[in-house]
Structure 1
Amino acid sequence: MDEHELTGKKKDKLKQNYRLVILDDETLQEVSTYKLSLLNLYMLLSSVFVLLGLIIILLFVFTPLKTFLPGYGDVEANKQFIELTQKTEELENDILAMNEYLERSKTRLVGTSEGDSRIESFDENPSNIPINLDLDQEYTNRSPKKIVNKAKLGQYYLLTPLLGPISAEFDPNRKHFGVDILGPKNSAVKAIMDGYVISSDWTLESGNTIAIQHANNIVSFYKHNSSLLKKAGSFVQAGEAIAIIGNSGTLSDGPHLHFELWYNGHPVNPTEFINF
């Protein structure tokens, strides 16, 4: 018997029909009957396996089951790790830049060493005197007209930080070195000039307070805010929102903005230069 005859017999065997009969176990009555062949059975099983394979593939592609595939989770984790590493490096660079800026600002504010009479100025005018933020006692013992060049300060255009009635005037005799401005709830407090934020923090008495160093030794303070919108080291433009009016701090008895204007290290009356 040659190879062709064997192949033909195998094909005939696959096509040979069989009958599957299902009988009742008690009465031996025929319930149903099926006509099958090995070829039909093979095609049926193949179709079932292919269909199951397609269903499994679709489940892994379009459902979260794909996360259980070996190696898939590792790729996503590595991608997130790389992104977090890049963000960490960017934050470290920002912190280093901010620390450098704060150190330079500190030098400008308090001056250089005791043996060096030359002081670095914040702006392009090297003849300006650096700001001293702790001059309350000195101010009470000296006349503002003698220590502040108001005419020079009046040359600058200062925007209004908040429009509203003034509830407490500038009164250095009782150490009230600014004005209290009333405004609607959630009103935005705005910067009076371009400058750098040198302080953005919370204190017990002043609450949420932000301070901005402007050019020509002008510093502005905004106190008792409900929230601060800028961080120390940020550059802000004139009229940009920097805080939200509030009632924070022990020295505040209602929603308002306590605004202070300092020039050449001394407080001045803001109402002489700003229209509220």
Structure 2
Amino acid sequence: MAHRKPEKKYINFLIIPDGKEEPRSIRLRLSLVRFIIAMLIVFLILVTGGFFAYWKLGSLLIQNNRLKEENFKLVTSLKQVDKIKEELLALQGYEKKIRSSIQGYVKVPETSATDSIPLNQINFESLNREKTGSLFNSIPSLIPVEGFIARGFETSSLFSDAHLGIDIAAQTNTPIRAPADGVVVMESWTDYGGNVLIIEHAYNYITVYKHNQVNLVSELERVKKGQVIALLGNTGKITSGPHLHYEIWHNGKPVNPIYYLNEN
């Protein structure tokens, strides 16, 4: 018995135009139709996979950018923490110097009296007229630099931080003079205060000088009233032009220097 070849199968597609044209018939092998369908399925799978991969890549890029931004913020925060830490250490040193001075660890020039004298008990008129004696030389009654007051003494409030001194504006390199006899207990640099000086005087007085262009005295050096101790400048991060930030501390508390300048 002879072997019969498998019969080829076809599919007929009938095309019926809308117009007056006669219908046309297209005859395709079933295997070709199956191949076309398979190719369409593969194409749809590839297109769908491509869209999914594109969406996934976009999500990864967005996430990557967000992580980069968060990493940048973290690095910036760490840098700020390091700066704050450095400034805190400087402020701790600043505080230590003041506390050491207040507690008497640094000797001041000998006077006839070492007790505290309240401001209202000082006769500035007589003091300035005599211009001699230990009291005149020890009370910080001299204006440290010639200029104008750009900012006054301010206590803290809900809207602003405390400003424990006055800012005296003048030209850069204007001489800064010691307002009284004393001993330099700190000569250093801080990020925010720039070149800083702290001088201890008799009668429990301490004076502070910030943003100096250059300090001209060293720690533990004795200074005389009217002696040039520094040159006015604009050093440090927190500053708005050449000026001297000047503080007076009495009995461990900041007092308004303007009282002494007014009396003088």
Bigger radius of gyration = 2
